Structures are given as structure tokens and as C-alpha cells.
Amino acid sequence: MRVGVIGLGIMGAPMARNLLKAGHAVVVHGRTPARVQPLVDAGATSAPTPAALAADVDAVVTCLPDTPDVELVFAGPSGILSGARPGLLAIDMSTIAPAAARALGERAAAAGIAFLDAPVSGGEVGAIAGTLSIMVGGAADAVERARPIFAALGRQVTHMGPTGQGQMTKLVNQVVGATTLAAVAEGLTLAARAGLDPAAVVQAVGSGAATSWALTNLGPRMQRRDFAPGFMVRLQQKDLRLALAAAAGLGVPLPTTALVQQLFAALEAQGGADSGTQALVLALEALAGR
């Protein structure tokens, strides 16, 4: 397929590379030339605007930071909707508000465009390896059309229902992931204060009922003080705000999620907004007087 990719950050750039490796013709658009050029060097072509890209591809994938960014790229001046031909497949792999995904789906359908909300889980590691978990909302026939694209990007693709349900599933993922990460950070803070061997703790705990992706992948990074972002604190905070808002709309209390959101807020106040989420351990260490 001829696939456009808009948004070439930590997640979007490796996704574009994996589409190239899978044999797709890839067209990219990004606001930062330094992110565009390496992909052009790898075999992609570039488009000056989202509209120009949309006019030149069979499908477009967007991977952007927040709801306003996605709305601008789709519906703003020189946006996807202004350049797309009827029949385009539009796949938004950002994490945005479910209501915004539904509204974009309606606007796309009015223009004859098939829209899928398909947020992902797995972080930078999964994006590079092509092993993301992809949770999809939209029409079943559009999901089938998208399978060759998803095959290059992920290991697990789950159709969750109509438009917006992919985003709602991602918010569930973020609630589970963030609260688990906080538990890992608490446990490792306790282990450090008790003088336990860090690697042995991860091995012992990770072999039992308390194992998790966060413990296995982010626990060692906490221990060696590697806070480089695979997923930034500020983006985690955006996702938790979306989750808390969605839960409030449904009348569902999320007390643990609210507490974790405040711990991340403390980390942001310490200047950690652009750190990886594993830096949450710093907020807990501060509470422990370390």
C-alpha cells in the first residue's frame, strides 16, 4: 500500500520505518525537518502538508501528542480532510479523547473517508520492534483494509467496536499501566531502603505473581537512574486526565488513578515533565526523604 505517516516522534518515526521494511511505499509529513530527513534517507518521500500527503496515498496514519494536534491535522487549514479523496483510509494511532475520535469519524464519513481510532500500547520499544498492541475502533471492513498496515506495526490487533472504543480501551490500558508503574516504583523504593540487591529483587519478584511489563522493562531503568523517555511524563499525564474525565462522565470513581496522577504532578513540579514515566520513582523517593 501507499501509506502516509504524520507525526514522526518517539513512536511515529519507528512506525514509519517498519512500514518501509514491510514493503509499503511511505510518504511522511512532520513539522521538524530533522525528523523528516532520516526517513527520506531510508526510502520515504515527504509531503509539504497533511492535505498534500492525503491526496497521494491509499491510507494515512497519524501519531500525534494530543487531541488538538489531531483535530488540527485532520480538520485544520491544509488538513487531511481538505486533500483526501473519497475512499482514503485514515488511521489515528494517537491517544485522544473518545468523544473527539467519534466526532472526527463523523466528519471523515461525510467526506467518504473511512476512519479508525487505533491507539497503541508498548512504548518506544514496541514501536521499534513492531510488537505494539493495537486497539481499534471503527467499521469492521475498514479494520480489514488496515490489516496489512497493522501487521507491520504490531503483534496484537483487537477490534473493540465502533469509533471511539479504541480510545476508550486505551484509557483503560493507561489506568492499569500507570497504577502498576506506581506500585513498581513503591516496591523498588522500599527495596532500596532495605538494602536489597536491585537485580535480585527484579528477578525474584518478576518470577512470581507480582510480575508486570513495568517491573521487567522499567524497574531496571529506575534502579540504574535511566530516566530517558520511552514515554514522557507529560504525555502520561495527558492520558490520565483523559481517563479521569471519561470516568467522571460515566460516573466511575478511579481513586488510585487520581492519586497516581498527583504523584506525576509532583514529578512535573520538580521539572520532570519530559522525563520517561519511570522517573515516577523520584517522586516516591522524595516522599521517603531520599
Positions marked catalytic: 170
Cell readout for 259 is: 492519586
Whole-angstrom distance, CA of residue 58 vs CA of residue 56:
7
Q: Residue 111 to residues 190, 248, 255, 269, 285: CA-CA distances in angstroms?
A: 56, 32, 41, 44, 52
What are the angstrom distances between the C-alpha of 122 and each of 11, 112, 130, 153, 204?
Answer: 10, 32, 9, 11, 23
Between helix 165-193 and helix 233-250 the angle, nearest 10°, is 120
